[in-house]
Structure 1
Amino acid sequence: MLKGEGLNYIFDIGKPSEFQALRDVSVQFGDKKLYGILGPSGSGKSSLLYLLSGLRKPTKGRVLFDNNDIWSLKSNELAEFRNKNFGFVFQRHFLINYLTALENVLVPVNKDFKKYEGRAKELLCDLGLESCIKKKPFEMSGGQRQRVAIARALINEPKIIFGDEPTASLDHENAIAVMEFLNSYKNHATIIVVTHDQSILKEADGQIRIIDGSLKEGDL
């Protein structure tokens, strides 16, 4: 169970450019479900995702995972916690150009390469990437690269997968294919996706909307 309680986030505190991205946002996500976070550009939806995932620290408020405040952890403990429990898919794939698809998927488990190699190949095959296992990013299409990034996010068998506009750079066909796969994976993990495109959330179990840094009532 993941919760955000009274989350506030302010950029550039004390500077002329100070801006409050989130205002007293409280959310709760159940286990093994798919959720969408919607909102226009600049609404604060990505900021919320980064706070929930431990990538940014709230100015005020708490993030609870199984009733434990993740921001009570020391920085090295938090990094280890994220690597063990969370998977990340971003708008850009952030693959390493000189590594093959298989090697990119195995980056998070570099020390346990042999242990996870079979799982990495299985994930790539499940994502329709059998022919790309030995290819490097520049030899693949945008949709293929994003699916490799999804396989990389899943390699550690995370409990929560965070997606920040994971389909924004894809055409509609590839976007739907990516979301269908993520929906099929929710039996294994909670999936939280930030998007501005509500059409890709047809199978979502819940949606929340962020407007001007505040939670719109009536969602989830």
Structure 2
Amino acid sequence: MIKIENVNLIYDIGKETETYALKNIDLNIRENKFYGILGPSGSGKSSLLYILSGLKKPSSGKALYNGDDLNKIKNKELSIIRSNDFGFVFQRHFLLDYLTSLQNVLVPLNSNRNEDINRAMSLLKDLGLEKEMNKMPFQMSGGQRQRVAIARALINKPKVIFADEITASLDHKNAFEVMKILKKYKKETTIIVVTHDESILEGVDEIINIWDGSIIEDKKKLVNSCSK
């Protein structure tokens, strides 16, 4: 589904000090699987997520989606892929303060069709937010706002969900609840979660360990760093 081949991401190219965010990355992402990208702060895990989703272009190497090189796709076509095929959830929920939960979920569709409203309501119910549908973001807890963001990411039935440190601002109870909710949708979509907390990745299909911009096999070294 998504394949990256010998990818490097370099900042300050041509300057005296170049910074490698990613080094010689090869990776295959398969359909309907749950992936965790695990690493400490500054390890390159978010950069890897951005390459996989086409939000960033590699300095060298290829990032392929369904066989198409994301680096060669025109920006307009890439924007359509991200709108139709991808869903995004970030550490900050980015909900619009002046819209209700239900309205926020419908934002990606820009639609008032009954079938879309019913899907949004169904998602919120499934995420335990039946009573919060008409609440504004400031009227909800952090965990509830993050669940609204997940519903918004799922509204267009994406083929891939990209989630970047979505539990970092939550307590462990809410973090595990958010991950439990995401796992329910694994049969419908591929899910890729970036985190520094290995404990929330219990039950995922594959953990991609990243250290200093490289995928590593030395899991002990990585876990010790993440736990500091």
Structure 1 residue 111 displacement after superposition? 4.0
User: Residues of 1 paired with 2:70 and 2:95: CA distance?
Assistant: 27
TM-score (norm 2): 0.92
Q: 2:210 is matched with which residue?
A: 210
Structure 1 residue 115 displacement after superposition? 3.8
Instruction: Indicate the percent of aligned positions where both proteins have the same amino acid.
Output: 58
Structure 1 residue 20 displacement after superposition? 1.0
User: Residues of 1 paired with 2:114 and 2:77: CA distance?
Assistant: 25
How does 1:43-62 map onto structure 2 within 5 Å? 43-62=43-62
User: Residues of 1 paired with 2:187 and 2:6: CA distance?
Assistant: 29
Q: 1:150 is matched with which residue?
A: 150
Aligned AA (1:59): S
Point out the more displaced range, 187-196 or 109-118. 109-118
Matched-pair contact (CA < 8 Å) for 1:10–1:20: yes
Matched-pair contact (CA < 8 Å) for 1:37–1:207: yes
> Are 1:125 and 2:98 matched, yes or no?
no
User: Residues of 2 paired with 1:17 and 1:159: CA distance?
Assistant: 38
Structure 1 residue 16 displacement after superposition? 4.8
TM-score (norm 1): 0.96
Q: 1:177 is matched with which residue?
A: 177
Q: What SS does the corresponding residue of 2:184 show, helix, strand or coil? A: helix
Q: What SS does the corresponding residue of 1:9 show, helix, strand or coil? A: strand
Aligned AA (1:150): I
Structure 1 residue 14 displacement after superposition? 2.6
Q: 2:160 is matched with which residue?
A: 160
**Gap regions ≥5 residues in structure 1:** none
**Gap regions ≥5 residues in structure 2:** 220-228
Q: Deviations along 1:35-78, whole A, 9 cap, x unmatched?
A: 10011110000000001001111111111122221222100110
Point out the more displaced range, 21-30 or 109-118. 109-118
Q: What SS does the corresponding residue of 2:108 show, helix, strand or coil? A: helix
User: Residues of 2 paired with 1:113 and 1:173: CA distance?
Assistant: 36
Q: 1:20 to 1:153 in 2, by over 3 A?
A: same
Aligned residues: 219
Structure 1 residue 112 displacement after superposition? 5.7
Q: Deviations along 1:160-219, whole A, 9 cap, x unmatched?
A: 000001111111011101101111110000000000000011110001111111110388
> Are 1:42 and 2:30 matched, yes or no?
no
User: Residues of 2 paired with 1:112 and 1:75: CA distance?
Assistant: 28
User: Residues of 2 paired with 1:113 and 1:104: CA distance?
Assistant: 15
> Are 1:196 and 2:196 matched, yes or no?
yes
User: Residues of 2 paired with 1:189 and 1:44: CA distance?
Assistant: 24
Aligned AA (1:109): L
User: Residues of 1 paired with 2:187 and 2:128: CA distance?
Assistant: 19
